[in-house]
């Protein structure tokens, strides 16, 4: 088979195949040699096309169903899906259709579908955009929608899905939080929850003012809250367990803490080290298993535990298609063990922040309830409920803070997070 030059569309199709058929996450695929061989603009476009298609997958399948008597092979189907999403979102049909026909003709076993692809996409160009606009936001797969509906309600989950369907804004965390208003004005953004800066049309991140000088880093507004619940970090010893990709390590360091950041993944820690260099912040970074830490005691511990990441689907729409929920049990067990282990590393007057970017209560609220039952000399720090930058109804009494995608929906939403601050009882 001849070697074809990769284009943003062909790369996006390969990524869709790997996610939907192969169960891969986009974060794995963007580290591949084939993806990195593209130019930076082409990488950005390929990733955008894949993300847009995954966000609208259920919706575009309903559009295509009107023009398909039966589903074609996966490869051909994904070419149709991506191309139809482009057309329905306003791209010029002529160029999209031509490249789709060329893509399906690259492999001999699919070349006889060229006529089908051409005919279907021309019908999509004629009738698809109106149908697309009339449809509900794409729903999450049943394996995830079911548990979330039980935890919240079907109506609330529908609100989650409306937010997840939209391209999310970019949130920045300031190295110097007092500069948030100044940076927001300079970049045309708005200050969120008193400190983060939200950009609706960020463009290329590395080209923004303040990137090269290390004035900020990208971090969802919800992900920035856990560290902000702590006070007076200057000079404190801090341990960031499961630290990669490192936003919370940067927050701790910027607040004056002496930070040790550990993660089991050496590869994922590279981004943290790059951001430390860019921002000029300091931390002791170690690629080790958290359970290997047994002696030193810390004033502050952050445990952003490995989890289902179901709160991040607005930014990672590949997740519901790359996973199927079978890992939930193992993750919940790991969270419980990590949380209990982290408590053994906490200094007598210390604070432990437990958080997960999950919408599942079993990974958040239930974990805190369980650990307090097992460790009766600990309690939730009442000072966390004094945090004034969130709405009071986001707090769960005597337990923690629950953030959801539908909160701040009119401003772009937020990731789903649960966070609690634990301390020893006086």
CATH code for position 230:
3.40.50.150
CA distance 132 to 63: 6
Residue range 83-99: mean pLDDT, rounded: 94
Query: According to the model, what pLDDT value does residue 257 have?
Result: 97
**Looking at the domain assignment, is residue 382 inside a domain?**
yes
**Looking at the domain assignment, is residue 370 inside a domain?**
yes
Residue range 174-185: mean pLDDT, rounded: 96
CA distance 423 to 78: 50
Same-domain pairing of 121 and 255: no
Convert the pLDDT of each residue in 368-426 to its tens digit: 999 999 999 999 999 999 999 999 999 999 999 999 999 999 999 999 999 999 999 98
Same-domain pairing of 250 and 388: yes
**Looking at the domain assignment, is residue 362 inside a domain?**
yes
Describe the crossing of helices 57-65 and 40-55 by its angle, rounded to 10 degrees.
70
Structural domain of 43: 8-134
| Residue 241: its H or E element | strand 237-241
pLDDT band at 3 (very low <50, low <70, confident <90, very high): low
Selection from 38, 15, 13, 14 nearest residue 27 by Cα: 15
Same-domain pairing of 359 and 220: yes
Burial pattern 384-422, b for ≥16 Cβ within 10 A else e, equals bbebeebeeeeebeebbbbbbbbbbeeebbbbbbbbbbb
**Looking at the domain assignment, is residue 258 inside a domain?**
yes
Query: According to the model, what pLDDT value does residue 295 have?
Result: 81
Which of 134, 153, 169 is a domain's end point?
134
Residue range 183-211: mean pLDDT, rounded: 94
Burial category of 382 from C-beta neighbours within 10 Å (exposed 0-12, middle 13-18, buried 19 and up): exposed
Phi-psi region of 262 (alpha: psi -120 to 50; beta: other; left: phi over 0): beta
Give strand ranges (E) for 34-114. none
pLDDT greater than 50 at residue 1: no
pLDDT band at 2 (very low <50, low <70, confident <90, very high): very low
CA distance 193 to 228: 11
Query: According to the model, what pLDDT value does residue 204 have?
Result: 86
Query: According to the model, what pLDDT value does residue 296 have?
Result: 86
**Looking at the domain assignment, is residue 202 inside a domain?**
no
Convert the pLDDT of each residue in 142-168 to its tens digit: 999 999 999 999 999 999 999 999 999
| Residue 57: its H or E element | helix 57-65
Same-domain pairing of 128 and 216: no
151 half-sphere exposure, CB direction, 13 A CA radius: 19
Burial pattern 292-317, b for ≥16 Cβ within 10 A else e, equals ebeeeebbbbbbbbbbbbbbbbbbbb
C-alpha separations of 67 from 190, 285, 378, 392 in Å: 43, 54, 61, 49
| High-pLDDT (> 70) share of the chain, % | 99
Query: According to the model, what pLDDT value does residue 164 have?
Result: 95
Burial pattern 248-266, b for ≥16 Cβ within 10 A else e, equals bbbbbbbbebbbbbbbbee
Same-domain pairing of 285 and 389: yes
Which of 113, 134, 155 is a domain's end point?
134
Convert the pLDDT of each residue in 12-47 to its tens digit: 999 999 999 999 999 999 989 999 999 999 999 999
Residue range 70-83: mean pLDDT, rounded: 95
Same-domain pairing of 112 and 234: no
Residue range 217-236: mean pLDDT, rounded: 96
**Looking at the domain assignment, is residue 340 inside a domain?**
yes
Convert the pLDDT of each residue in 245-294 to its tens digit: 899 999 999 999 999 999 998 888 999 999 999 999 999 999 999 999 98
CA distance 280 to 123: 54
Q: By the 8 A CB rule, do 84 and 59 touch?
A: no
The total number of structural domains that make up the chain: 2
**Looking at the domain assignment, is residue 162 inside a domain?**
no
Residues in the chain, total: 426
Query: According to the model, what pLDDT value does residue 218 have?
Result: 96
Same-domain pairing of 297 and 399: yes
CA distance 168 to 48: 12
Q: pTM score, two decimals?
A: 0.92
Convert the pLDDT of each residue in 290-348 to its tens digit: 999 988 899 999 999 999 999 999 999 999 999 998 999 999 999 999 999 999 999 99
Instruction: Pull the structure tokens for residue 37.
Output: 């061989």
Query: According to the model, what pLDDT value does residue 202 have?
Result: 87
């Amino acid at each position: 088979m001849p070697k074809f030059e990769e284009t943003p569309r062909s790369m996006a199709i390969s990524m869709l195949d790997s996610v939907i058929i192969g169960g891969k996450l986009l974060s794995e695929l963007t580290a591949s040699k084939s993806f990195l061989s593209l130019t930076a603009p082409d990488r950005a476009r390929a990733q955008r096309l894949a993300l847009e298609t995954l966000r609208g997958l259920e919706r575009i399948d309903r559009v295509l169903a009107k023009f398909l008597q039966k589903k074609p092979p996966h490869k051909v189907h994904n070419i149709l899906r991506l191309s139809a999403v482009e057309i329905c979102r306003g791209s010029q049909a002529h160029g999209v259709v031509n490249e789709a026909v060329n893509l399906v003709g690259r492999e001999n076993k699919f070349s006889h579908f060229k006529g089908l692809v051409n005919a279907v996409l021309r019908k999509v160009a004629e009738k698809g955009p109106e149908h697309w606009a009339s449809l509900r936001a794409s729903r999450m797969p049943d394996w995830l929608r079911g548990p979330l509906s039980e935890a919240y309600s079907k109506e609330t989950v529908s609100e989650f899905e409306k937010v997840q369907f939209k391209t999310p804004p970019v949130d920045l965390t300031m190295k110097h939080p007092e500069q948030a208003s100044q940076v927001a004005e300079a970049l045309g953004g708005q200050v969120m929850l008193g400190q983060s800066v939200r950009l609706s049309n960020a463009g290329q991140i590395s080209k923004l003012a303040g990137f090269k000088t290390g004035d900020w880093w990208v971090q969802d507004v919800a992900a920035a809250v856990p560290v902000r619940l702590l006070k007076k970090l200057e000079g404190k010893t801090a341990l960031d367990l499961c630290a990669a990709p490192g936003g919370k390590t940067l927050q701790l360091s910027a607040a004056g803490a002496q930070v040790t950041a550990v993660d089991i993944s050496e590869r994922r820690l590279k981004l943290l080290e790059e951001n430390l260099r860019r921002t000029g912040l300091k931390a002791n970074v170690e690629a080790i298993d958290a359970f290997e830490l047994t002696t030193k005691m810390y004033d502050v511990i952050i445990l952003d535990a490995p989890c289902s990441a179901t709160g991040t689907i607005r930014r990672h729409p590949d997740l519901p298609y790359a996973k199927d929920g079978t890992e939930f049990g193992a993750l919940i067990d790991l969270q419980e063990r990590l949380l209990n282990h982290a408590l053994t590393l906490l200094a007598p007057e210390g604070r432990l922040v437990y958080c997960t970017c999950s919408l599942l209560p079993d990974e958040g609220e239930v974990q805190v309830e369980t650990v307090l039952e097992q460790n009766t000399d600990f309690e939730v720090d009442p000072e966390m409920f004094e945090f004034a930058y969130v709405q009071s109804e986001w707090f769960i009494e005597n337990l923690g803070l629950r953030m959801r995608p539908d909160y701040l929906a009119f401003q772009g939403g937020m990731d789903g997070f649960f966070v609690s601050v634990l301390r020893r009882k006086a």
